[in-house]
Amino acid sequence: MNYKDLVEKALKAKENAYAPYSKFKVGAALLSNKEEVFTGCNVENASFGLTNCAERTAIFKAVSDGKKDFKAIALASDSDKIITPCGACRQVLLEFGPHIDVVMANNKGEYKVNKVMDLIPNGFDTEYLEEENKK
């Protein structure tokens, strides 16, 4: 699947967002290594801390279906600006691979691509835990 199509799926997914507080709808489309697409949207909560981002929604949906190998994720919002994942989403993406392409788009479908490792350099990953478990 090309990234333009993945961005279109993210734009469509944002329409399902539940964002009554921020009014900032975000959609995500996660592409597995087997070309399966899992979509997600942000789901807000009055206590804000319980809000879940679109990227994490898509990842959790895929993992709950038994998928853990991903090649790309696209995210888009209603903004004219290209959006980037928050820190929590970057950390969750890192869990599944530093080489995942993050396709960041705006409401017009324009996008740019970065690797997860470029968005969260020196991130905390499984290497640290593996070293500790060897002790």
- Strand locations in 1-135, DSSP E? 26-32, 37-41, 70-77, 101-105, 111-115
> 41 among the known binding-site residues?
no
Active-site residues, by number, are: 55
DSSP 19-51: -TTT---EEEEEEETTS-EEEEE-B--TTSTT-
Annotated binding site: 53, 86, 89
Annotated binding site for Zn(2+): 53, 86, 89
